[in-house]
Chain A
């Protein structure tokens, strides 16, 4: 039996909404970056862009969105393929393991991202 304990909000609707909202943020962020990049950038203008607070907030938002989006998506994948139904108890162990690993990775990225953005 697969449980919903590790889903985002234990409500399918909440997960579904988060997935969509974060996707919109990510899309906006990357479209913005694409515009900047196609306009041509050098180191100075890039640094200037990222030294502004609004850009740092926007980037952090995108980073957090990426974390949430990946978490919800991977959670769905893990609960599809790494299950007790398909591989017995091993399924549960593998799934927990995979979830812990991806949680650590995402947490690391977020912390690292904050360090970079604020130059800590």
Chain B
């Protein structure tokens, strides 16, 4: 939507295709905030410190030119949001309120904990998404609400010239032609059985890209958020720990002091999640099954909780039957974010690599937000950086398309056979007979991913998982669609979504097995050390031959010195 806004503001004809009404996208669930060095909490704050934290957080496979761009342009993008009306919380001086988040430091890790995450209470994503939609409304962007994009249309030169989309209300299928197609389709957390992600996070963009033969990058990197409500999977913001909450095991011990003596509960998310799993494995978990730990907040007092974390209090009471004012919340690491995605440059242009290993722009295709891998998150995303990522690179994509349109984009039209090619999957599904039930297959897929590609991974287990997935491919492609009706047929959409989930899962599995090291969110029992000699690089998964290649990480920021890889401790 940020990209659309940019284009609509400049008067270009812009349409947003969205499978849910725009304010129902998953950004709405982001709670804690948007991290950015706007120098409110600390007047001396510097975007370079934010850059340092992000590079370190990424375990050094974040592209430093992209991180530099995000952190330096960030303040401008955040102020724009404020001018659009985003109701940020405020400081006494009237500036935007910033709270501490995990992995944040001052003075390149030397100056202690920073408070850099701009917040609208604990509803920042909601406020941001509504503000962006309102901005688009003001600028008269066209919205195709509840239209579902099924596949990319490529012309004979391999350029992307639009998408096939279904109007969910009527079932009508059309080819929507465009000079530039921007994917902002979000993540695919639903490949896991336990996830903080919404039902709609089915990796549609990744599925479409893979089916069109385009590669994905670092797709093995999945962030497990330390604090999902046990059982329900609902997210509890890191802001809770930013405001002073901490994790305890069954003995009431604040165990993060052992794992991360300096940052404690505000270490990187991967570090905290792994520590929690270790506590649970070693028998110090809470509850009758010993399968979770507690997040303690009651010591903050009712006033702080109700003013700074009202949404969390509400969620905890509803889903954990625990009132944070009085008792701790049962939490467990839960699949949260896809660091990998469609590789792009800082302009949001999707990339592939040619035979000699050089980056090649895919004409007509852009990606931003979670579906993209710019890569600013590398192997582990810092809290509050996802909202910044989507705003900064959505804006950058818009700016780039604006420029390109001014200079003129000239692409050949898609031929009938190109369109037919893109329609083939839908046609096949619509004529399917027999086959297995979609919900059952989805469950099987999610369990496979959960059990074989979770927080800790090893070769034996992953091999088994890959074999199971190989078996699932045919069964999922042949899944049954009983209901062939046109009007608001959610069964058809769910079947199409399952195909996308599978594409993401398979890419994840094959790449995870290949990366023989532990880095960021990718933790292996059998290769416990980071291997900078062989794996200080992006993985690239090529769908046509299911091959995993490598792509160099950018270590050449334009205005600052390179941050050299160091051991990552908190």
* Direct contact, A vs B (beta carbon within 8 Å): no
